[in-house]
Amino acid sequence: MSQFTHFNKQGRTQMVDISNKEDTVRAAVAKTSIEMKKEVYEQIVRQEIGKGDVLAVAQVAGIMAAKNTSNIIPMCHPLPLKAVDIVFDWKEVQHFYKLIIEVTAKTKGSTGVEMEALTAASVCALTIYDMCKAVDKGMTIGKTYLVEKTGGKSGHYIRE
C-alpha cells in the first residue's frame, strides 16, 4: 500500500507530504451549472428573490468555500489562495434556463488548486439552490468538472 501517497506503511490514510515539492504558480478552472424554470431566472435577474441578490451572495459563498476547502475535504492542504474569480453565463435550453458557473482559482505553492475551484463551483450552485428553492424546488445542479489546470509537476491539463 505504501506506493499510494494517501496511505502510510500501515495502510492507513495520511495527508500527503508535499514538503519537498517546489512552489510554482498554479491555477485551476472548474465549471458547474444549475438549471431552473423561466420564473426563477426572471426573479434572479430582476433581483426579486426574497433572500437578496442571488448571484452576489452565491459569488461570495463560492469564494468563501474556496478559502475553506481544507476544512471540509479531509486530505486537502490549506492553501494561500492568491485569486478566486467566479463568472456566470446564462443559457436558454428549451423551456428552462441554465446558469453556467465558472470558477478560476490561483495560488503560488506546492500543491494544486483543483479542489478549491471545484468546491467553490459546487457551493456557488448550492447557494443559488438554497436562495431560490421557495420558488422552484425542482432546480437541477449539473455536472461539476475540472476544465483546466496549470502548474506543478503534472503539467498542463485541459479537459477534452
Which sequence positions are flagged as catalytic? 130
> Cell 500543491, residue?
111
In the three-class reduction of DSSP (H, G, I as helix; E, B as strand; rest coil), residue 76 is classed as coil
Cα dist from 96 to 35, 41, 47, 138, whole Å: 7, 9, 18, 11
Alpha carbons 4 and 148: distance in angstroms, whole number: 24
In Å, the largest CA–CA distance within the chain is 57
> Cell 492568491, residue?
82
Alpha carbons 143 and 154: distance in angstroms, whole number: 24
